[in-house]
Amino acid sequence: MDVKFNNRDPVYVQVIRHFKEQIATGLFEPGQEIPSRRELANQLKINPNTAQRAYKEMEEQGLIFTEGNLPSRITKDEQVLKMVREELILEAVDAFVHSVRSINLPLHEALTLVQNTYERE
């Protein structure tokens, strides 16, 4: 568990983003335990309340669930896990296409640039 933070977005948003990327990549098993709020806060050097904020939102979104005072877990609903990946993809593509349009960058140039950038390193 390691996240590099930027200063633009709220920390709790970046934490959620990180979990979603892990889910989208299939690094979490359905039902898998995740670190406690305090443990995550320690690992990432953030405030426990910030971790709680992130987990609370993830729970509201159905990404994780909590039974009693047991450690929270990744949802067992594989449909939800699948949707996370598709949402991230959709967001990335939409944002890129929007940018490309806003500056009148021809499609083939955009595609070429993506390809070249992707391939180097």
Helical ranges in 1-121 per DSSP H: 11-24, 37-44, 48-60, 78-102, 107-119
Residues that bind a copy of itself (CB under 8 A): 21, 24-25, 85, 88-89, 91-97, 99-105, 107, 110-111, 113-115, 117-119
Rounded Cα distance, 80 and 87, in Å? 10
What token pair was written down for 117? 């950038």
Instruction: Collapse the DSSP code of 87 into the 3-class scheme (helix H, G, I; strand E, B; otherwise coil) and give the result.
Output: helix
DSSP string for 6-29: -SSS-HHHHHHHHHHHHHHTT-S-
User: Which of 35, 83 has the CB closer to DNA?
Assistant: 35
Site string (24-63) toward DNA, x via CB under 7 A: ------------xxxx------xxxxx-xx-xx--x----
Residue 11 found at the interface with DNA (CB under 7 A): yes
Q: Could you say which of a copy of itself, DNA, none residue 77 binds, taking C-beta under 5 to 8 angstroms by partner kind?
A: none
Q: Could you say which of a copy of itself, DNA, none residue 113 binds, taking C-beta under 5 to 8 angstroms by partner kind?
A: a copy of itself
CB of 21 to DNA, least distance (A): 17
Rounded Cα distance, 118 and 113, in Å? 8
Residue 19 found at the interface with DNA (CB under 7 A): no
User: Which of 32, 99 has the CB closer to a copy of itself?
Assistant: 99
